[in-house]
Structure 1
Amino acid sequence: MLGAMDPWYERNVLSLLSLSSDVLCQTGCKDTDVSEGSGSVERLPLLTQLVLYYCRHADQPVLVPLYQAELTLVGGERRKEVFVHSLELGHSAGARAVKAMGSASKRFGIDEEHEAVPLTLSVSYNRVAVSGRSQWIDTEIVCTSVNLQKASKKPEHLCDDSRIETLQLTMTEVTKRNCSKSKKCHNQHISVSEVKVDKVQVSGGDDGSTFAVCLDQDEKKFIQSVTRCDVSLCCKPGSSSDWRSYKLLPGQVQPLHPSYCSLLCLPITSFSAS
């Protein structure tokens, strides 16, 4: 997320992750830090130096709006999760969790989209048009994966009546599935559709389909046996989604942009202000 938002972080920190651990753990030639009171000199690895430099010198404030995913599990249990950047649902989420098992993943195998078992899902989403108007669409599709990712918006494209954040909804739909006695079943024709949205509801079809959900591409935030997933922006308690009807309480700080007034945001600092 930081790499997508801050070019300096992407260029100087994120790009280093492709290097070997031997390079990342090398210490600098010069003394980088001196422990207070002891007089001893501590040499820090290259990656640590860059991360510390970023934390100490990045000074541009950025508010990152949070999204919430309200999940309904088999049996009726409900839970609410928060994500910053992306949500994966279905095959792509399951494949990511299997890969996280390391050596154990070889026993389970990781199928491609063409070999994944499709799900019949009911998908409803609020489509956001360029004009700012929205349209609620209900559809039932046979798909392998449904993914959501923040669609970045340049500051110069923001205006007072525009939505501050949108999500890129990507649906991998199976239009034809081939199954023969001699060969393994596979998805012969796959169609990928993308649309900008701000609210999404995904639920299993009448056949009782369940799916997996992975938040922010983090294998530790992986939930299985989900029957329904509702995604929307996080708003401050008691506030409206329309910032013009939201009034600050005494002692609250005015946000950088008025459209953030009613949204629950994660405050960070970076070298490049969003």
Structure 2
Amino acid sequence: MVITMNDFEQYIQKDMDESRAEQMWDNKSKSFYERTEKTQQQFVREFVFTFIKERKLLNAQSRVLDIGCGTGRHLLEFSAYTSYLTGIDISSNMLAYAKEKLQHIPQAKLIHGNWMNTFTTENEFDLVFACMTPAIASIEHIQRMNMIAKKYCMLERIVYEKDTVQEEIEQRLGRKLFRLPHNDKNYVYGVWNILWLMGYCPEVVFDKQVRSTTHTIEDYMRDAAYTDEEKTAVTQLLNAKQKDGIITAEESVVKAIILWKKEKLPC
């Protein structure tokens, strides 16, 4: 049996209605921004930025594209290396936060729209980057990344995530409640094999972190669908854990970086 790229595409495909996705992310933009801003100082030490620095992937003249840039968290850190930044997102509300972050960088461009319709020029960017976005979900998307990249392409993905308080809630109620869409190691498996069959030599690097994280009671109540009886039980559990309205949990996260060079080389 001959294995083709299409056999692996199933591992990365996501059902996405772009019109509804735009509204969804517009609605989530405020809570997403507020939540991620709490960890911005920690974010600057993220593995992806250490990796980029160690590999010397960027310099002052590098042109970077961030697909699904959201509130501009990655772009802000990329600005430590280069001012030639472009971010695109389907959410105008997300981009409003990014614009505020990058207002001191006149060369930065923020675009609202579909990246596949926007970028069609070969070798336009030195690094084409995407983190946790459903916008990279097909062979065609990966092919387009390769076309518009001049030097490198990079995907960042969470493949495992665990919150001890969420686990305790699920154990208390005896069922799964929290949907963790990032726990999808098969995505990395699919992308690597597609790239390999295209003739590239993709490199996958993993990073594991165990850290303390803080949430409010509202965070845990909002992230799952409870029955009225379950709401009472969970509220009691969370109230017992909170201190001044804040709950501390231990969070385990494994991230994967997939990096490949534009040139096809013998593997």
TM-score, with structure 2 as normaliser: 0.23
Higher strand proportion: 1
- Higher helix proportion (structure 1 or 2): 2
Structure ID, larger Rg:
1
State the structure with bigger RCO (CA 8 A, min sep 6), 1 or 2.
1
